[in-house]
Amino acid sequence: MAEELQALHENNTWTIMKLPKGKKAVGSCWVYKIKFHSYGTIERHKARLVARGFTQTYGVDYKETFAPVAKMNTMRVLLSVAINNTWPLFQMDVKNTFLHGELEEEVFMKIPLGHPQSNNPDLVCRLHKAIYGLKQSDNVSEISALKQYLSHKFAIKDLGTLKYFLGIEVAHSHKGCFLNQRKYIIDLLHEANMTDCKPARTPLNSNLKMQSHGDLIPNIEYYQRLVGKLIYLTITRPDISYAVSLVSQFMHAPNTDHMKIVHRVLRYLKGSIGRGILMRNNGHTQISGYTDADWAGNSLDRKSITGFCTFVGGNLVTWKSKKQSVVARSSAEAEYRAMASTACELTWLKTLLSDLGFPHPQPMSLHCDN
């Protein structure tokens, strides 16, 4: 807590003053968390001061609330480009990143507990910079932090070799890079009480027939939480994408059969914890894609499934398994719709590479089996 207050003071986050007449101050609270290394040991204890942003009023003390987020497809493309060009990979953590965003609105906050002047009820904090909890924090902090930290050179002591980011473990050398979510899988199995389950060889039973009827499970939130974690796991596990896309279609009313499929996927993960994505240095950044589709494979609505995967520089970067929006009248139509979706993905990859400074003048290849 002392470190957090010191960081707030050094960054001139606020000015202590009396609350102006007609203004209101939002509250604040402390949030405590234990941060762990990727292999499970405690890294450090952390205290974070958070504003009670739910008491803010739109148009008075906040306006925009959007925030830029990381798109994992872009991250994998960038990693493939880096590997194929033998670039060194570093990571940097901006400590207290929210404190670098300048506020445009007039925001007042009650003095937090632990502050030397917290016992004076007449004083408040006039916020100059964003802190966690404010509705506009994501917006102003991300943009301001990027502008500030990308506008000057980094000291080498601020950088560390890329090993772990966004819940993904990274092992790399001059030959390539391996991405996996091993610890995430172990934690997921532990949460589902399946650490001692019997492993399965495939994520789905080949004779599976989806059923809409059945006994609804009593704890829908538990099902939704597990499926949500499986969706995040597809960042490095394309082999479960189809199974996860199936169970994701029943988030509103899952039954016991749907839960059995989730357990089957978890049993498959138990037997393949260490799998992930291997990116090699192939010496090029060529774009290619593979696509396929079934025909009326869904027994409930007779819609087809589109499946594709794309490669940049010979490395797998994007993939998708998704039910088509309309019923295809023939297998050729289902395949054609899948190819159209994949062509859109390839076009986006070409544009992205151009934005990264790697224009792609040669033709892109699209493979299908129709």
Distance CA 226, CA 231 (A): 9
Mean confidence (pLDDT) of the chain: 85
Q: Tell me: the pLDDT tens digits for 181-216?
A: 999 999 999 999 999 999 999 999 887 776 666 788
Q: Tell me: the pLDDT tens digits for 14-68?
A: 999 999 888 888 888 999 999 887 777 888 888 989 888 877 777 676 666 566 6
pLDDT at 171: 84
Q: Tell me: the pLDDT tens digits for 315-333?
A: 999 999 999 999 999 999 9
Whose CA is closest to 3, among 41, 30, 38, 24? 30
Dihedral in degrees, nearest 10, Cα atoms 162, 168, 171, 176: -90
Distance CA 19, CA 80 (A): 53
Contact 130, 103 (CB under 8 A): yes
Domain ranges of the chain: 2-68+94-156, 168-276, 282-367
Contact 306, 337 (CB under 8 A): yes
Q: Tell me: the pLDDT tens digits for 270-306?
A: 999 999 999 999 999 999 999 999 988 777 788 999 9
Please state the three-class secondary structure of 288-344 as a single string: EEEEEECCCCCCCCCCCEEEEEEEECCEEEEEEEEECCCCCCCHHHHHHHHHHHHHH
pLDDT at 156: 41
pLDDT at 31: 93
Distance CA 180, CA 38 (A): 11
Distance CA 343, CA 351 (A): 12
Q: Does residue 95 surpass a pLDDT of 70?
A: no
Q: Does residue 96 surpass a pLDDT of 60?
A: no
Four-residue CA torsion sign, 184, 185, 187, 191 = positive
Q: Report the percentage of the chain scoring pLDDT > 90.
A: 48
Architecture of domain 282-367: Roll (3.10)
3-state class of 166 per DSSP?
A: coil
The per-type count for the chain, helices as H runs and strands as E runs, is 8, 15
Q: Does residue 224 surpass a pLDDT of 50?
A: yes
